[in-house]
Structure 1
Amino acid sequence: MTTPTLQDLTQSLLSQNLPPPHPAFLAPILNPAGSQRIPPLQALTATAKVRLLNSDFTAPNILDQNKAHAFPAGFSDVTVAERKLAFDVVVQVRDVEDIGRSKWEQIESLESERKGESTKGRQVIRILPSIADEAPSTAATQVPAGAQQAAQMKSSGPFKLLLQDFRGAIVYGFDLHRVEKIGFPGTGNGAMSIGCKILLKKGTKVARGMVLLEPAFTVLLGGKIEGLDKGWREGREKSLREAIGDGKRRREDADVAAD
């Protein structure tokens, strides 16, 4: 069996719509410490793919900056009515906004989740942990808490995503038409996490600095940046409350100016 080379592994990853990794990123995968035998190309590709998708693309020696594509200059210019990507760009998700629900509705869902509550019509149901030696629970409490929370938090969108290329440039994306797997982190419906990688194909439209996410030009590759994802989840309720407060202050300032 032929020993896989750096070029073999790179080409294998590129064939799966992944951006070109830096040789330094692939070196420890091709030559695992303490191993007398190099795994076959298929196994190496699987390992490299998982590590790549869970890496921060803005960190040094992750992507080959001489070969990877980033957003072109002026990409987020709001004065340009419409433009299209001239090449494929793989980005990572830094933030997600649920445009389909009000911020207060999202805060109430988070509060209920924290209290271990779910809703059935107008009835509030407290979700209690199952204990093996207790009497059988009701049908409502037989559903795992995680499933209850997932159903409660599930939203059909649309969603507004903050996207970042490997150079650190950011731009907002909007799912103009429902894109498979785009969803709210933590909904349990196969939705993405913060740090998820997305392939924006050549021809992707950008209108007034906003990337229009459409099924024909958008592919979710998966992955997660653990620290960013954890921080986003823990700080989400605070961010929602701050956004509501900022909006209220702007309205008050506008009322004062009008008077």
Structure 2
Amino acid sequence: MMSLQLASQLKSELFSRYSLVPSEQWLNEFLSNSRNPSHPLPALTSTAHFRLLSTDFTTTLSTRQGKVLPAKVSDVHTKELILQIDIPVQVLDIQDTSTSKWSQIEAIERVERGEEIRGREVIRNVPGINDDDDADGGDQGQVTGSSSRPSATSSTNASGNSKKGSTGPHKVLLQDAAGTKAWAFETSRIERITIVNSNPPVPGATATQTVVEGMQIGCKFVLRRGTKVRRGLIMMTPANTTVMGGKVEAWDKKWREGRKARLHQELERENSG
């Protein structure tokens, strides 16, 4: 009885605080695997929320309360729709519409080479130069226009532009708990929506040196009630889009590994057309 009551309370808290309705199966598994389900409800709710952000919403959220996208959300013939409830979604793809595809390919390749951008100069970090403390205040291990194999240090000092991330506007492919997909457009800048070109794995680098920055695939949003959908495109603004964070590791890895190839393919299609 206590377990059923706790599950009901936790479900209610996740709904009221985060607009998430977990499936009964996920909720029961979470509680049965919790080390200490007797923790205060707020702490248990935060833990459940954190775990949900790394899952596939199509397998962990319930659709019984109708918190899904309208059937005609992607219909370009529908002039306008307005979402009537808050809807949790996950990111399957993100595109930077403000930068040419070729420029994005070049940015990816700079990171692959361990380069960084400073003004109009290409700066490459070279291992073994000025590795000691920089007592005289000079530049550490940087040369212009030369070639070298990137070190673990260069893995964390990749392109300054790439570390900042894209500023958009972006197009984002979203998916709800029922599996319905729809493209969304960032009509006003949303700070946490950005693409950061991750550094390639470097031999000897630690986990903290290879961490991926920026928004990742599988990131979770909540589209707020009143969000407009025009001609099959969801209009995202800071006021109607809550970025909860999270990721699905396998999705993000596959997306990053294939991004340059996809950009090349899109360029070829545009040129052939």
Alignment RMSD (CA, Å): 2.7
Distance 2:254 2:158 in 1: 23
Contact 1:109 1:152 in 2 (8 A): yes
Corresponding residue for residue 104 of structure 1: 102
CA distance change for structure 1 residues 130 and 227 in 2, over 3 Å: closer, same or farther? farther
Name the residue aligned to 1:253: none
Question: Paired residue for 1:95, among 84, 93, 96?
Answer: 93
Find the counterpart in structure 1 of residue 114 from structure 2. Answer: 116
Q: In 2, distance between residues paired with 1:43 and 1:202?
A: 27
2:244 matches 1:221: yes
In structure 2, the partner of 1:45 is 45
In structure 1, which of residues 72, 75, 79 is the aligned counterpart of residue 73 of structure 2?
75
SS at match of 1:203: coil
Name the residue aligned to 2:206: none
CA deviation after TM superposition for structure 1 residue 203, in Å = 0.6
Secondary structure of residue in 2 paired with 1:139: coil
- TM-score, normalised on structure 2? 0.81
Q: 1:53 corresponds to which letter in structure 2?
A: L
1:44-193 correspondence runs (5 A)? 44-59=44-59, 62-129=60-127, 136=134, 138-139=138-139, 141=141, 145-149=155-159, 151-152=161-162, 154-185=165-196, 191-193=214-216
Which residues of structure 2 form unaligned runs of 5+?
A: 143-152, 199-210
Task: Decide whether aligned partners of structure 1 residues 106 and 248 sit closer, same or farther in structure 2, where only a CA change above 3 A counts.
Answer: same
Residue type of the partner of 1:106? Answer: Q
Length-normalised TM-score, structure 1: 0.85
For residues 245 and 188 of structure 2, the distance between their equivalents in structure 1, rounded to whole angstroms, comes to 19
Tell whether the 8 Å contact from 1:192 to 1:222 is kept in structure 2 after alignment: yes
1: CA distance, partners of 2:36 / 2:105: 54
Q: Count how many residue pairs are aligned between Structure 1 and Structure 2.
A: 246
- Per-residue CA deviation, residues 8-62 of structure 1 (Å, 9 max, x unaligned), is 11122112223100121111332337x5763332332122111111100122xx1
Q: Distance in 1 between matches of 2:132 and 2:140?
A: 16
**CA distance in structure 1 between the aligned counterparts of 2:93 and 2:179, rounded to whole angstroms:** 14
Task: State how far apart, in whole Å, the 2-side matches of 1:230 and 1:17 are.
Answer: 26
- Is contact 2:10–2:45 with CA below 8 Å preserved after alignment? yes
- 1:22 and 2:10 correspond: no
Cross-structure match for 1:12:
13
Residue aligning to 1:256: none
Residue 49 of structure 2: SS of its match in structure 1? helix
SS at match of 1:183: coil
**8 Å Cα contact 1:127/1:141 also seen in 2:** yes
User: What are the Cα deviations for residues 145-186 of structure 1, in whole angstroms up to 9, with x where unaligned?
Assistant: 434335335221111101111111111101001123111155
Give % identity.
37
